[in-house]
């Protein structure tokens, strides 16, 4: 692909010179920090109640302070928060070209437009993967610091797989926001789209239709509704893949004909 290496270098440079990596890393860090706080509360509810953190009723409903609970919380955080966090990454990556008024310059470059779009999607994928890895590593550190029971190497591998799979599903599902950013020429249309699917995902999952709404599937797969993976067949995961392909393909086609629309 003509110019992919140069396009990747350019996108990397844009990311390095921005505050966005630090802000998204901070956003991702909230999940393990809050998870660690809940582990402290569940481990010593009397200490937490004395400081006004929880009520006795809330403690009984929350669960137990152990590694399976912490990993479950982190997987669910990636499933729910990942839509917003990874969505902001892709919206910034594509939308900034219009807010900075550099889109026309990119279209005039000898580098192929497909290389530019591919470099952006690769950047989004790597960036999102690093955020998910950060959540996992911080979860390991905070869980060890709080000293909760239930550790096993098998559980760690299972948690890494679940968090990684959930993150991959979310990355696929934010690709349509790239099309919304380019077709809408900025940040607002994709941001509105992101909040719309976020709300719809919550509502439709509550109504029992989450298995057929792509943006509800990662949350169900993470176990946020209990043993909900039984609701998810191959068709649900295929739907996520198709959405990801449609988002990438739609963005590529739009960039290819951007100066005609």
* pLDDT per residue as tens digits for the range 6-65: 889 999 999 999 999 999 999 999 999 998 888 888 877 776 666 666 654 445 455 678
> Which of 61-65, 78-82, 94-98, 121-125 has the least mean pLDDT?
61-65
Q: What's the pLDDT at 48? A: 65
The answer as to whether 185 is a domain residue is yes
Q: What's the pLDDT at 15? A: 92
Q: What's the pLDDT at 211? A: 85
The answer as to whether 183 is a domain residue is yes
pTM of the predicted model as reported, rounded to 2 decimal places: 0.89
- CA 110, CA 3: separation in Å to the nearest integer? 8
Q: Which residues of 83-108 are buried (b: 16+ CB within 10 A; e: fewer)?
A: bbbbbbbbbbbbbbbbeeeebeebee
Which tokens hold the place of 131? 């955020």
The answer as to whether 121 is a domain residue is yes
The answer as to whether 50 is a domain residue is no
DSSP sequence for 34-54: HHHHHHHHHH-HHHHHHTTS-
- CA 31, CA 81: separation in Å to the nearest integer? 9
Which tokens hold the place of 203? 């509502």
Q: What's the pLDDT at 226? A: 60
The mean of the pLDDT values for the chain is 86
Residue 188, domain extent: 4-32+65-260
Number of helices (H) and strands (E) in the chain: give both, helices first.
11, 0
- Residue pair 68/173 in contact (Cβ under 8 Å)? The answer is no
Q: What's the pLDDT at 205? A: 82
Q: Quick one: which of 237, 247, 104, 99 has its CA closest to 166?
A: 237
* pLDDT per residue as tens digits for the range 202-257: 888 888 888 889 999 988 888 766 655 546 788 889 999 999 999 999 999 998 88
The answer as to whether 48 is a domain residue is no
Averaged pLDDT for residues 110-131: 92
Confidence of residue 120 (pLDDT cuts 50, 70, 90): very high
> Which of 36-50, 115-129, 165-179 has the least mean pLDDT?
36-50
Averaged pLDDT for residues 110-135: 93
DSSP sequence for 141-178: HHHHHHT-S---HHHHHHHHHHHHHHHHHHHHHHHHHH
| Cβ atoms within 10 Å, residue 169 | 25
Q: Where are the beta strands (DSSP E) in the chain?
A: none
- CA 261, CA 106: separation in Å to the nearest integer? 16
Q: What's the pLDDT at 210? A: 82
User: Using H for helix, E for strand and C for coil, what is the string for 116-130?
Assistant: HHHHHHHHHHHHHHH
The answer as to whether 38 is a domain residue is no
Averaged pLDDT for residues 71-81: 90
CA 224 to chain centre: 15
Helix or strand run (H / E) with residue 241: helix 234-256
Q: What's the pLDDT at 53? A: 62
The answer as to whether 59 is a domain residue is no
The answer as to whether 16 is a domain residue is yes
How many domains does the structure of the chain reveal?
Answer: 1
Confidence of residue 192 (pLDDT cuts 50, 70, 90): very high
- CA 182, CA 258: separation in Å to the nearest integer? 9
Confidence of residue 168 (pLDDT cuts 50, 70, 90): very high
């Amino acid at each position: 692909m003509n110019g992919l290496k140069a396009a990747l270098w350019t996108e990397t440079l844009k990311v390095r010179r921005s505050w966005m990596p630090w802000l998204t890393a901070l956003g991702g860090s909230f999940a393990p920090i809050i998870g660690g706080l809940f582990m402290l509360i569940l481990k010593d509810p009397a200490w937490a109640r004395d400081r006004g953190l929880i009520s006795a009723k809330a403690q009984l409903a929350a669960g137990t302070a152990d590694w399976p609970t912490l990993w479950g919380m982190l997987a669910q955080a990636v499933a729910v928060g990942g839509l917003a966090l990874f969505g902001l990454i892709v919206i910034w990556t594509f939308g900034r070209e219009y807010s900075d008024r550099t889109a026309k310059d990119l279209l005039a470059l000898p580098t192929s437009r497909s290389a530019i779009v591919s470099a952006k999607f690769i950047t989004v994928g790597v960036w999102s993967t690093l955020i998910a890895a950060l959540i996992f590593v911080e979860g390991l550190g905070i869980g060890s610091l709080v000293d909760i029971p239930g550790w096993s190497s098998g559980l760690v591998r299972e948690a890494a797989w679940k968090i990684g799979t959930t993150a991959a599903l979310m990355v696929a599902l934010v690709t349509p926001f790239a099309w919304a950013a380019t077709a809408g020429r900025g940040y607002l249309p994709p941001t509105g789209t992101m909040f719309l699917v976020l709300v719809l995902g919550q509502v439709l999952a509550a109504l029992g239709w989450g298995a057929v709404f792509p943006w509800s599937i990662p949350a169900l797969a993470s176990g946020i509704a209990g043993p909900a993976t039984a609701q998810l067949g191959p068709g649900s995961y295929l739907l996520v893949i198709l959405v990801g392909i449609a988002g990438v393909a739609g963005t590529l086609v739009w960039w290819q004909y951007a100066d005609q629309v």
